[in-house]
Amino acid sequence: MEYRRNDGPNLRPVLPTQTKHIGEALGQSVVKTEALMMNAHMQELETMKGKALEEEQDAHAAYDNAYFDLLTAQAHFMEAQASLNIAKAKLETSIMIVDVCVDNAVNAVGAVGRWKSKIDASEKLRH
């Protein structure tokens, strides 16, 4: 038989039915405590899940924004490349025009030189 202390200095016996009720009460208390802890843990997990979903959505939005920025940069690059190709074609055309002008100038100087020689020769023949 078990004994427990009463309010006074004397010990009094604990009856088996009391032990059974105390055990059941303790068991129920443990079960309730575990249920409360499990409920708190589940709420914490739900909160963490919500935060994780928000972070995932933020990550997707950041990826979408970065991808849009990449496409925009590619479009600007292609536009700049087209402008560069146009400028290159204009420069090549200008170089060809300058080459033709230089050739014409050389030919003109040569023609002037030949005419001057002919004029000088004809003047010598006249004198």
Q: What confidence score (pLDDT) does residue 3 get?
A: 46
What pLDDT digit, counting tens, does each position of 24-65 carry? 776 677 778 888 899 999 999 999 999 999 999 999 999 999
- Give the distance, in angstroms, between the CA of residue 100 and the centroid of all CA atoms in the same chain: 52
- Confirm if 3 and 15 have CB atoms less than 8 A apart: no
Domain that holds residue 62: 2-126
C-alpha to C-alpha distance for 23 and 2, rounded to whole angstroms = 14
Q: What is the mean pLDDT of residues 91-120?
A: 94
C-alpha to C-alpha distance for 90 and 65, rounded to whole angstroms = 37
- Full-prediction pTM beyond 0.95? no
Q: What confidence score (pLDDT) does residue 29 get?
A: 79
Q: What confidence score (pLDDT) does residue 1 get?
A: 44
What total of structural domains would you count in the chain? 1
Q: What confidence score (pLDDT) does residue 15 get?
A: 56
Residues of the chain above pLDDT 70, percent: 78
